[in-house]
Each structure stands twice: as structure tokens, then as C-alpha cells.
Amino acid sequence: MAYKIIEGTAVRSGSTIIIDGEPCNVKSIDVSKTGKHGHAKVRIEAIGIIDGKKKVIARPGHERFEVPLIEKKKAQVLSMSPEAVNVMDIESYETFDLPIPTEEVPELYEGDQVEYWEVEDKKIIKRKI
């Protein structure tokens, strides 16, 4: 579910694009000049939003990339297990399980409020409110 499509030369550092089916934050981009008979090339370094893995790609500058729609929502922690956190959305009162965040989120307890992101039909906890 792409929000819009942009060309490789229009990608900027800090933007979010889909690489190999995973939404990624662009950390740096290098654009080479066109050659005598060729096209401009872009080299993109990005980090996956969900898995946190670094991805480096080199593609033609005219290639198009999808920009994902990121929905930021709030939820309350209902219970915790070793594998997942059960949360309730504050607006819709829907309850569901989310994986326990591994980085950048302090220890979670029952009753805490968190911000979660819904990206490409995947949900992840991004921060404690």
C-alpha cells in the first residue's frame, strides 16, 4: 500500500521508501552524473524501520521507489508476556499483540501508554509516552 511513488533522484536523506518489500529510512544518498551514453545512478544507504537492518542499493536514477504510508497511533499496555505485549488502541479500543521492542524503548509496564506505527500492515512499538 504505497502512498506515492518518487524517482530515485528525488529521494532525500531522512525520507522513507520501500526497499525489497521493507519500509526503510534513508540515511544517505549519492547521485552520480550521467555518462556519455548512460543514465545517472543513485546509491542509497537505508535502515529498515521494522527489522533495523542496514540496506545499501545502487539503482538507475530514473527508477521509481514507493513511499509507504505511516500511521502513528497511541495505545495502552494491558499485559506483557516474554514474547509480546498486549495493547489496546486508545481511539478504537481494539486489542492486539505487538512484538516487544528491542531498541530505543525503555522498560514497559502494565498501564503505560505507547506510540505504535502501522506500516505496510505491520505494527511496531516506537516509543513510550
Mean pLDDT of 74-79: 95
Domain extent at residue 122: 70-128
Do 60 and 98 lie in one domain? The reply is no
Do 64 and 6 lie in one domain? The reply is yes
What is the C-alpha end-to-end distance of the chain, expressed in Å?
28
CA distance linking residue 17 with residue 65, whole number of Å: 6
Mean pLDDT of 45-70: 93
User: What's this model's pTM, rounded to 2 decimal places?
Assistant: 0.79
- Where does the pLDDT of residue 108 fall: very low under 50, low under 70, confident under 90, or very high at 90 and above? confident
pLDDT, greater one: 114 or 39: 114
Give pLDDT tens digits for 114-128.
Answer: 999 999 888 999 888
- Where does the pLDDT of residue 1 fall: very low under 50, low under 70, confident under 90, or very high at 90 and above? low
Answer yes or no: are the C-beta atoms of 98 and 28 closer than 8 Å: no
Phi, psi of 83 (to 5 degrees): -100, -30
pLDDT, greater one: 76 or 103: 76
28 by DSSP, 3-state: which?
strand
Do 76 and 105 lie in one domain? The reply is yes
Specify the pLDDT at position 2.
59
- Where does the pLDDT of residue 5 fall: very low under 50, low under 70, confident under 90, or very high at 90 and above? very high
CATH of the domain at 76: 2.40.50.140
